[in-house]
Amino acid sequence: MPQTLVQKGFHIHPGYLDRPAQEAMVDDLRQVLRAAPLVQPVTPRGQPMSVRMSAAGQFGWVTDRRGYRYEPRHPDGLAWPPIPASVLAIWEDLAACPRPPECCLVNWYKEGARMGLHQDKDEADFTYPVLSVSLGDDGLFRMGNPERGGPTASHWLKSGDVVVMGGAARLAYHGVDRIRFGSSSLLRDGGRINLTLRVVT
Ligand SMILES: O=C(O)CCC(=O)C(=O)O
Ligand SMILES: [Fe+2]
């Protein structure tokens, strides 16, 4: 499988999942979302995010007026569903990590949704990588470095692409500027799903 080293610790695996594997993963995710419905998160300052979120695993990442954090339960009060085996298999293959992921965050981008530049830093140990899977419409992923305001480079992530951010890239600023709505036929109504796998504790 080809792998692109974009900068130290930041790897893109283009086309890691073929179309049948993407379809099977979407089926698995529908089950996750039945157990843990998507919510529209609100930043600690009260701004609604354009991305809708849910999670699988021992912890889900949530945000509301009380802050950014990991929670063992969905806001509805139920435990998060388990991370699908199809998703865990990617971690096993690519993360080179001695621990399994404890959170699979599910991000849902509808038309016009985006995610501002941020660091993933609510986890206890940054020596473990973050792995992300893109499904559905193309997303324009912007990658920076650990300093806010530093140079950034943009990459279109396509359905089936997998990104690993570890090592020197683990605390790099990153975000999604926009999606190309309708560019993929994977999801009947369009949109983009992104999964991020993290070790939390
Ligand atoms: O949607 C993406 O590709 C990135 C998502 C992300 O950075 C996050 O959930 O922290
Ligand atoms: Fe992130």
Using a 6 Å cutoff on CB, does residue 184 contact ligand 1?
no
CATH number listed for the domain at residues 4-39+47-198: 2.60.120.590
Domain extents for the chain? Answer: 4-39+47-198
Q: What Rg do the C-alpha atoms of the chain give, in angstroms?
A: 15
Write down the pLDDT at residue 158. 98
pLDDT digits (tens, 9 = 90+) for 27-44: 999 999 999 999 999 999
If you average pLDDT over residues 117-141, what whole number do you get? Answer: 97
Using a 6 Å cutoff on CB, does residue 54 contact ligand 1?
no
* Prediction ipTM score: 0.99
Asked whether the predicted pLDDT for residue 2 surpasses 70, the reply is no
Alpha-carbon gap, residue 22 to 12, rounded angstroms: 17
Give the residue carrying structure tokens 């973050």. Answer: 130
Using a 6 Å cutoff on CB, does residue 159 contact ligand 1?
no
Pick the atom of ligand 1 nearest to 61's CA.
9
| C-alpha pair distances (Å), 32 with each of 57, 78, 120 | 10, 12, 23
> From the CA of 200, how far away is ligand 1's center (Å)?
16
If you average pLDDT over residues 167-186, what whole number do you get? Answer: 97
> From the CA of 120, how far away is ligand 2's center (Å)?
5
pLDDT digits (tens, 9 = 90+) for 88-124: 999 999 999 999 999 999 999 999 999 999 999 999 9
pTM, two decimals, is 0.96
Alpha-carbon gap, residue 63 to 141, rounded angstroms: 21
pLDDT digits (tens, 9 = 90+) for 63-83: 999 999 999 999 999 999 999
Assign 1 a pLDDT band (cuts: 50, 70, 90): low
If you average pLDDT over residues 132-150, what whole number do you get? Answer: 95
> From the CA of 10, how far away is ligand 1's center (Å)?
14
Nearest to 60 by CA among 92, 43, 44, 83: 83
Assign residue 199 a region: left if phi > 0, alpha if psi is -120 to 50, beta otherwise? beta
Write down the pLDDT at residue 7. 81
